[in-house]
Amino acid sequence: MRIAVFGLGYVGVVSAACLARDGHQIIGVDPQAEKVALVNAGQPPIIEAGVAGLVADAVAAGRLRATSDPAEAVAATEMSLVCVGTPSRRNGSLDTGAVERVCGQIGAAVAAAGKPHLVVMRSTVLPGTMRGLVIPALEAAAGGAAALLKIANNPEFLRESTAVADYDAPPKTVVGAAEPETAAAVMALYERIPGPKFATELEIAEMVKYADNAWHAAKVAFGNEIGNIAKALDIDSHKVMEIFCEDRKLNISPAYLRPGFAFGGSCLPKDLRALTYKGRELDLELPVLESLMRSNAVQIDRAVERVLETGARRVAMLGISFKAGTDDLRESPQVALVERLIGKGLDLRIYDRNVHLARLVGANRAYIEDRIPHISRLLSEDLAGVAAHGELVILGNSDPEFRRLPELLSPGQRVLDLVRLAGLEAIGAGYDGVNW
């Protein structure tokens, strides 16, 4: 395929070199004459392992050249990859000036060329940028030729110093597009690349890159704060984290990473409080760890707001233990939610087959009798009756019994799902999720 690559920085040069190596005809585009001259001389304008040889080979084979003329590049190609920078402004907002400028150049060039062109955004842009800026800029510049444009988002997952290796073996390949055929055309560039491939919506493709990088930043900060505590206690933090990373069932896994409701139970809140208290004893500043309980509380605040926004006065709560299959109510965020809603004057009824006073013993019974006796009076063993009570039905945990919920509902009842139990989306317009 004939491809123009706009922006000859790290992402652009690596993408151009690897695509040329794979047999595509590539034209690099950059406003800096020095970069264009270097590429045309077979030299990369960046320092990156493996790139120099790829650029030299591609230029020698006639599969890679560079220009400062966008119109020339678009006229000679079928696809443009936009790989320009999106740096931070002083206030932290994203500077999309280069993206908008290039989109204007490509749109105008497509109008002049008068032939179909696929524009692929590789630059990192915030969710909504494709529809709010990229597509309008391209279409405005193309004018009456806007119908010739096909547009996609294809975030890169390249790390500096290992970018060629990452291109050849990415953790995933993601293409966002409005039309399946557009996504397929972009995905064809990577048919020989291993790893999972996802053709998805534009906004999901935009958001995935930010989720990745925020998670990577969180992992670094978390590891460093564990290291702060370990060093203060004369513990080898690297040995601690080596063992931590061997747990691929919970620690290095999808577990706990699905958006939903707040965490709870008898372990996570208690142990997090103890660890941050120990940090204070050691005169350590641990902003990441110390923010987690507050972040958790914000999720409960959001759920309260979502309930109140519905205007419902009668509420059914299905599942009050912090997760299905347990009768433990200690630190349950579902209990905290119920207490907040009672305080707002709502009429609640609660069903949880694992939480019935007559069957509870020991700490769980004592917790209900001593700490939340007012909630125990709202518990019922009649699922259908509780469900029928609610103008709004809140799904609190993922007990398989709640898969029956659609057949228990009457017209007009609404559902707020805290756990995303599979199949409940079929309820339709009355269904909503707390974080989706």
Task: Write out the H or E segment, with its range, that includes residue 317.
Answer: strand 314-318
Average pLDDT rounded to a whole number, residues 23-41: 98
Average pLDDT rounded to a whole number, residues 157-184: 96
Residue pLDDT, tens place only, 364-392: 677 777 777 888 889 999 999 999 999 99
Q: Could you say which of 18, 83, 103, 267 is catalytic?
A: 267
* Model confidence band, residue 125 (pLDDT cutoffs 50, 70, 90): very high
The string of DSSP codes covering 367-423 is HHHHH-HHHHTTEES-HHHHHHH-SEEEE-S--GGGGGHHHH--TT-EEEESS--TT
CA distance 52 to 4: 19
Lowest mean pLDDT among 54-58, 189-193, 423-427: 423-427
Q: Scan for tokens 């919970």, then name that residue.
A: 250
| pLDDT given at position 360 | 58
Residue pLDDT, tens place only, 47-89: 999 999 999 999 999 999 999 999 999 999 999 999 999 999 9
Calculate the average pLDDT of the chain.
Answer: 95
Residue pLDDT, tens place only, 283-294: 999 999 999 999
Average pLDDT rounded to a whole number, residues 36-43: 98
CA distance 176 to 128: 12
| pLDDT given at position 376 | 81
Q: Decide if pLDDT at 270 tops 90.
A: yes
Of all residues in the chain, the percent with pLDDT exceeding 70 is 98
The closest of 302, 321, 312 to 395, measured between CA atoms, is 321
* Catalytic annotation present for 83: no
Average pLDDT rounded to a whole number, residues 142-160: 97
Q: What is the largest CA-CA distance in the chain?
A: 83
| pLDDT given at position 358 | 47
Average pLDDT rounded to a whole number, residues 195-206: 98
Q: Decide if pLDDT at 197 tops 80.
A: yes
| pLDDT given at position 330 | 81
Encoded tokens for 227: 């290291």
| pLDDT given at position 374 | 83
Average pLDDT rounded to a whole number, residues 183-202: 97
- CB 125 within 8 Å of CB 134: yes
Bridge-based pairing state of the strands 149-153 and 173-177: antiparallel
Q: Decide if pLDDT at 214 tops 60.
A: yes
Average pLDDT rounded to a whole number, residues 161-188: 97
| pLDDT given at position 359 | 56
Select the highest-mean-pLDDT range: 130-134, 265-269, 323-327.
Answer: 130-134
| pLDDT given at position 212 | 96
